Structure 1
Amino acid sequence: MKNIRTEEQMNRKIAYDCGEKIAGARKELAARKKAFLLSMSVEDLKRVEEMSTEEAQAIVTKKQIWPFDMKNEKEKGRSYLMAFGIKMLYDRISPKAEDGISRSDYLQAILRLKEWTESIQTRDEMMDCFSKLRRHLELEGPKPWILLAAERNVRTAKKEYEWALENPEDFSEALLNEYGSVSAVINSYKTRIEEAEAALEEALKEQKQALQNPFLALGYRFATTFLDNNSYKAFRNKFLYENGNWNKWEAAVKKKADKKNKSTNSTKEKWTRVLPEYFERIGGREIQIKRPEDLLVIFGLRGAQFGKWVEDNSGGFHLKNTAEALADLADILAIQDEQISCGKVLGIAFGARGKGKAAAHYEPTLKVINLTKEGGMGALAHEMAHFLDNCLYEFSLGERTTGYASENPLGAKLPSSVQEAIDAVIDAISKGDAVKTVPNENKRWSFTGKFRQMYKLLEGNVAKTIAFFEKEYLEEKERLEKRLMERQDELNPAILKKRLKKIQRDCTKNIKKVQQVIAYIHEQETGEKLKDIPIATGKTYFLIEAEELDKGRKEPYWSKPREMFARAFESWVQDKLNQQGRRNDYLVTGTKAIIGQPYPRGEERKKINEAMDRMVCILQEYFFSQFKTKEKNATTKMRPKEVITQSIGTGSSTPIEERFMMESNGQLYLF
């Protein structure tokens, strides 16, 4: 193997980089990030994205690209009114690129808006900027009224010209006097066509330019401010009625400072993995490993990376335990050791790429797992779940991607049975019969008779009655959304999104109201005043508790499908080890089924494990088999058949092929 040691690693015997050089070490990534923050160029952004999409997402934000501040505007000598107008625009920009918007478009849109506003000095210039933005955003839509009006003018001019050719006798005396002759009048109609066509051509050029430089990339709120008539009117009036003669700088700067000094606990984690005092491994094969090259050979890894502060002692600890953990995971999955890396694409890093408080993380761009020097133990199964989830989706598409099979439909390179198996796991994770409660507002409600009628038909069952009407509202929501999506080719994307949000908002409002109405009916019928109203959620407690952990966060983490899948996979791995009387705390630990923990428990855990069993079996047939090596080396051996059987099954000695599937006409069917 090529020597790729860093300067600090030259005298190390264990903790040194080997195999393929894994890009994106902290030092290299920091240099690329610094270059981007200095240049704010698309080229430097792409260089960061090549190493880490997560880091790119973290630095491509409104505050990083355009750190607008009222205090700075005052120091630059800008008038309060102009700074106020720019702040109105700035506040409506999305904090980061929204889903479906490329970071490069978002970056360029902010820089373009910043350039537009830089030279504005008067109220009229600011109003012109607002009008220009409104026109630009309108032209970015599929059927902008500006273009439709220009096309209509061309049609009208042509019809008028045809009329003039056919009816010269109908020309008025005033018209003839104005132009001097019939032919001159006809030529005037012809000129109108040329002018209308020129205006249309100009509008098309303007549209092309708008599409090449989209302001829609600034986000939903920014776009709807200008595209929605009522929002635009309110926005303009807010600026127009602001009295620029008042000296409001002090108040504006103080408000910013107060906001900065506010403390918040929104980012404080509500759960962290508790590591055992001593790491144990019970059972499992003995793995002979003396140096990092052995890890690469045995498990088909493409490279290993050690951080600057990971010395031989800690490096040796991580190396040995990682090898044993991957061997145990291969046993559980019933695959060859080399197959664990899905075609030699996985890289492993120890204390080389840590960020924030995460004990470990997976980078889908570079297909590398990083375990921190002190806290990465017990998280390898979780990160391997992310790796397999990502590789499965990538394999199905036949192209590089950072997406996950748990969050996206698979591509055509895998059969439908694989998608069905994954769907079954996701359903087991998210769909259940969990009941939650909401506080009773104890108000008097007016309602139609159908609510009381259904309550009685369902024998006074509050949860079932609410569930019935919730289903009705959700079905109506789907109908409205479908009808609206049929017009998506006609509507500006921002307006489409606004109307979809309104449908969702109205549905949520109706569901909340019906919960209170049924509780009120129950009180009228039985005299019982419910303190809390039971709600059948249709979800698992696993999902509900994840959503609870997400409360207070700016965006979901615990309830993301990929994270739910990874924690379900962890639980499955630990349960499989327990069934065999085995244990590996370095691979997985802390998935105890306790209320309030972010792991499945009880019957839900059992159902998830059963679905995971079937999915793994299908993956052996259609996914892992693609990475099987023809010849085995001395360090890599297939597990005995009894181990394979036990690792996927429930302890029975029946072969997995007979228990989980049957072959018929070349197709695979689940029982």
Structure 2
Amino acid sequence: MDLFELFDLEVRENIMVQDVRTDKQVRNRYSYDVGEKLVGAKKELRALKESFLVSFSLDVLAEIEKESPVEALNTLDRNTLIPFSFELEKENDIPARVAKLKQLLVGRIDKKPIADTTTARKLYVQACRRIWHDIQLIHTSEQWIDLVGSYGKEMQNGWYALKKDKNVTYTFKRMVEEYFDEFVDADGMELLILGKKFISLCTNSKSIKSTYLRVSHELTWNDLLTKKVTTRKKSAAAWSRKLPDTLQRKGPEVEFATKPEDVVTMFGLKGMQFGHYCTEQYAKEHIEHVSEALHDVARILGIPPKYIGLGGRLGLAIGARGSGNALAHYEPS
């Protein structure tokens, strides 16, 4: 029994590898996409993110979720969903004290949803955009108190309903993670996703009062807009790995690929993808090194090179994913 019999896979023979390069790759000799489309490319996610950050459309967020839930979470940012600034408040003739109260309210909101679910991310967007809409209507400290108090009453109704139905005494975070989706449509649930600090402020009359009193009536715009001078310590130089200018192979001779189609054909891959910022020289070098490395992997495993792609279930992306230090990664089906 060989590898493919064990996993019930079929080896693809004589498959025509299609050139599926993007518009920005038309003139490239090495850095272009081939084979089947590999989802989750940074260039595609970037376009979706840019669209979301303009429209805040839940439909666009759902598209990002399909590509990568992690990227959907990374897209959400409190300060983007609620673009509060003292400069904008001053332009709108809001009193300095009221602007500071608004800032303190926004600062109580968690920077990310408290639960890592699709529903939580959707509600986080809705809740943040609602807060942004509401605080733009606030022009006096009395209106601020009324707004915060109304949030508190709404959340108390939702929180009590959640605890009463489940009859448990779990921590808030566990309650949200385990049961939130079941009560997502219940009254008062939307704002709960903004986190414990926000809930604590809005549901506690003493907290509302202390926050209100903490902001001086004498506060001026000069106080808010004057930036404090800070000094930074010099950071230590980052470690850099020293590599020879020319890499020399010491192992057995192998067949080198010279273009993306060669890599896909040699190793039975689903496809190969390059990021738009991957230069031609970079792509050429990595096509050679990838083919060299995968031949070595096949030799170590004792399998034919064409088995590396698991019958076309795996693809390979170079410079097309993430913002970390990985140069390439396998893309599973």
Report if TM-score (shorter chain) is over 0.5. Answer: yes
Q: Which residue in the other structure is 1:4 paired with? A: 20
| Bigger radius of gyration | 1
**Do residues 17 (structure 1) and 15 (structure 2) align?**
no
Instruction: State the identity as a percent.
Output: 29
Write the distance in 1 (CA, Å) between the matches of 2:231 and 2:314: 43
Note the C-alpha offset of 1:24: 5.2
Write the distance in 1 (CA, Å) between the matches of 2:280 and 2:241: 26
Greater fraction helix: 1
**Do residues 115 (structure 1) and 133 (structure 2) align?**
yes
Q: If the length of structure 1 is used for normalisation, what is the TM-score?
A: 0.39
Q: Deviations over 1:435-464 (max 9, x none)?
A: xxxxxxxxxxxxxxxxxxxxxxxxxxxxxx
**Do residues 96 (structure 1) and 112 (structure 2) align?**
yes
Partner SS state of residue 349, structure 1: strand
C-alpha change, 1:234 and 1:141, in structure 2 (3 Å) is closer
Write the distance in 2 (CA, Å) between the matches of 1:339 and 1:134: 60
Partner SS state of residue 151, structure 2: helix
Note the C-alpha offset of 1:61: 0.6
Q: Deviations over 1:490-547 (max 9, x none)?
A: xxxxxxxxxxxxxxxxxxxxxxxxxxxxxxxxxxxxxxxxxxxxxxxxxxxxxxxxxx
**Do residues 251 (structure 1) and 219 (structure 2) align?**
no
**Do residues 237 (structure 1) and 219 (structure 2) align?**
no
Write the distance in 2 (CA, Å) between the matches of 1:122 and 1:18: 60
Q: Which residue in the other structure is 1:210 paired with? A: 188
Name the Cα RMSD after superposition.
3.7
Note the C-alpha offset of 1:233: 1.4
Q: Deviations over 1:388-440 (max 9, x none)?
A: xxx6xxxxxxxx9xxxxxxxxxxxxxxxxxxxxxxxxxxxxxxxxxxxxxxxx
Unaligned runs of 5+ in 2: 1-16, 166-182
**Contact 1:300–1:343 at 8 Å: present in 2 too?**
yes
Q: Which residue in the other structure is 1:573 paired with? A: none
Q: Tell me the amino acid that sits aligned with residue 103 of structure 2.
A: K
Q: If the length of structure 2 is used for normalisation, what is the TM-score?
A: 0.73
Partner SS state of residue 348, structure 1: strand
**Do residues 315 (structure 1) and 283 (structure 2) align?**
yes
Q: Which residue in the other structure is 2:144 paired with? A: 126
**Contact 2:31–2:280 at 8 Å: present in 1 too?**
yes
Matches within 5 A, 1:201-600: 208-211=186-189, 214-227=190-203, 229=204, 233-240=206-213, 242-244=215-217, 246-254=218-226, 257-258=227-228, 263=232, 271=239, 273-284=241-252, 286-308=254-276, 310=278, 313-333=281-301, 337-341=305-309, 344-353=312-321, 355=323, 358-360=324-326, 371=327, 383=329
Write the distance in 2 (CA, Å) between the matches of 1:53 and 1:146: 31
**Contact 1:26–1:353 at 8 Å: present in 2 too?**
yes
Q: Tell me the amino acid that sits aligned with residue 208 of structure 1.
A: A
Partner SS state of residue 188, structure 2: helix
Note the C-alpha offset of 1:297: 2.4
**Contact 1:61–1:97 at 8 Å: present in 2 too?**
no
**Do residues 77 (structure 1) and 93 (structure 2) align?**
yes
Write the distance in 1 (CA, Å) between the matches of 2:112 and 2:101: 21
Q: Which residue in the other structure is 2:179 paired with? A: none
Write the distance in 2 (CA, Å) between the matches of 1:342 and 1:94: 43
Write the distance in 2 (CA, Å) between the matches of 1:206 and 1:57: 18
C-alpha change, 1:334 and 1:73, in structure 2 (3 Å) is farther
Q: Deviations over 1:115-163 (max 9, x none)?
A: 222212333322222222222222332646999xxxxxxxxxxxxxxxx
**Contact 1:308–1:352 at 8 Å: present in 2 too?**
yes
Q: Tell me the amino acid that sits aligned with residue 87 of structure 2.
A: K
Partner SS state of residue 208, structure 1: coil
Write the distance in 2 (CA, Å) between the matches of 1:91 and 1:298: 54
Unaligned runs of 5+ in 1: 148-204, 361-370, 372-379, 392-399, 401-671
Write the distance in 2 (CA, Å) between the matches of 1:118 and 1:271: 47
C-alpha change, 1:28 and 1:123, in structure 2 (3 Å) is same
Give the number of the structure with larger relative contact order, counting CA–CA contacts within 8 Å between residues 6 or more apart.
2
**Contact 1:285–1:327 at 8 Å: present in 2 too?**
no
Q: Tell me the amino acid that sits aligned with residue 64 of structure 2.
A: V
Note the C-alpha offset of 1:68: 1.3
Note the C-alpha offset of 1:335: 5.2
Q: Deviations over 1:550-571 (max 9, x none)?
A: xxxxxxxxxxxxxxxxxxxxxx
How many positions carry a matched residue from both structures? Answer: 299
C-alpha change, 1:99 and 1:30, in structure 2 (3 Å) is same
Write the distance in 1 (CA, Å) between the matches of 2:25 and 2:134: 51
Note the C-alpha offset of 1:19: 0.4
Partner SS state of residue 272, structure 2: strand
Note the C-alpha offset of 1:72: 1.8
C-alpha change, 1:59 and 1:207, in structure 2 (3 Å) is closer
Note the C-alpha offset of 1:319: 0.9
Partner SS state of residue 87, structure 1: helix
Note the C-alpha offset of 1:243: 4.0
Q: Deviations over 1:288-347 (max 9, x none)?
A: 534322211232322212345656554332112101212323444555545544563433
Partner SS state of residue 22, structure 1: coil
Write the distance in 2 (CA, Å) between the matches of 1:47 and 1:262: 43
C-alpha change, 1:249 and 1:278, in structure 2 (3 Å) is same
Q: Tell me the amino acid that sits aligned with residue 45 of structure 1.
A: L
Q: Tell me the amino acid that sits aligned with residue 210 of structure 1.
A: G
